[in-house]
Structure 1
Amino acid sequence: MKNILLASFAIVLSLFTNPVQAQNAHEKHADDVNYVVLTRNVQQLKPIILAAEELAVQDGDNFGDFQVVVCGKAVQDLSNKETMSNFLKSAENAGVTINACGFSLKKFGVDRAALPEALRVVENGILHNFELQKKGYLSIEL
């Protein structure tokens, strides 16, 4: 009888703790370290993603958000599916968000519909970078 009570208690306890742990694994915390990189060269995505992977290992549970903003003439390369395919797969696996600057898309005549779905468009890449910096993101421009 005692074993049945202990087993029942353990089952009930596990039912209530697992959802909480799963929820906490996806929450952002105040002590997370977040990053943003502004680049004008699509070929820099590979070393940027490698850096994100290494920072994720170094930061461990404190690794937060990692965003890349592609600005300038480089946005023309974003619609090249062959070029972007591997970058987008690597970015997804590393938890990196790649953003395209809307102003640059307009300036260089890149149709937003031609961009891969995995890319996000921010209207003003420089403003987006500053807004993230105000939120405490570590930032670098390449």
Structure 2
Amino acid sequence: MKRSIIYLSAICFLFIGTTALKAQDFNPKKNNYLILSKNIRQIEPVLLTAHELAAEDNEEYGDFYVIICGKTVKDIPNNEDLKRLLEKAKARHVSIFVCGISLSKFNVSPEDLPENLTIIENGILYGLQLSKKGFITLTI
């Protein structure tokens, strides 16, 4: 009986130790960033952040994505300030997406959106999928 407990304990410790090593070994080749935002007014500071991170990361800088979700999608159509920021985002290689579920919920037509904006079906799901791929995420 004592041997069974010792063997079982050893197997558990071996498994836990191996799991910890796997987590420590994860090292993406690039630093990829994702911002999930419920406020389009945050895009300008996000672009400043992306610029600083690109300079800081240098060769290790990867992708920078912003997903706009929630009620703020109502503020997107005919927003000249946003159009200007989208051009700035494009120049800085920042991809901006909008949640299709939010568009539907708040009755915003995709035809009313600027061309530089990409619609994804489910912003939260997409954000979680990117997190699983190693993106550094922040919700604001």
User: Which TM bucket (shorter chain)?
Assistant: 0.7 to 0.9
Shift of 1:52: 0.3
- Is the deviation greater in 62-71 or in 79-88? 79-88
Percent identity over the alignment? Answer: 42
Runs of 4+ in 1 over 3 A off after TM superposition: none
Does the CA contact (< 8 Å) of 1:67 and 1:99 recur in 2? yes
2:97 to 68, 81, 99: 99
Shift of 1:56: 0.3
1:137 paired with 2:135, answer yes
Q: 1:61, 1:78 → 2: CA distance?
A: 33
Q: 1:118, 1:139 → 2: CA distance?
A: 22
Q: 1:43, 1:80 → 2: CA distance?
A: 15
Q: 2:75, 2:88 → 1: CA distance?
A: 17
1:72 paired with 2:75, answer no
Q: 1:45, 1:80 → 2: CA distance?
A: 16
Does the CA contact (< 8 Å) of 2:33 and 2:63 recur in 1? yes
Q: 1:76, 1:61 → 2: CA distance?
A: 37
Shift of 1:99: 0.3
**Any idea what SS the aligned residue of 2:76 has?**
helix
Letter in 1 for 2:88: S
Q: Report the counterpart of residue 125 of structure 1 in structure 2.
A: 123
Q: Report the counterpart of residue 35 of structure 2 in structure 1.
A: 37
**Any idea what SS the aligned residue of 2:115 has?**
coil
Q: Report the counterpart of residue 9 of structure 2 in structure 1.
A: none
Letter in 2 for 1:44: Q
**Any idea what SS the aligned residue of 1:79 has?**
coil
Q: Report the counterpart of residue 10 of structure 1 in structure 2.
A: none
Shift of 1:57: 0.3
Q: Any idea what the Cα deviations from partners look like across 1:27-52, whole Å, max 9, x if unmatched?
A: xxx51110000001000000001000
Q: 1:105, 1:46 → 2: CA distance?
A: 22
Ranges in structure 2 where 5+ consecutive residues have no aligned partner: 1-27
Q: TM-score, normalised by structure 1?
A: 0.77
Alignment of 1:15-94 (within 5 A): 30-94=28-92
CA RMSD of aligned residues (A): 0.9
Q: 2:44, 2:128 → 1: CA distance?
A: 23
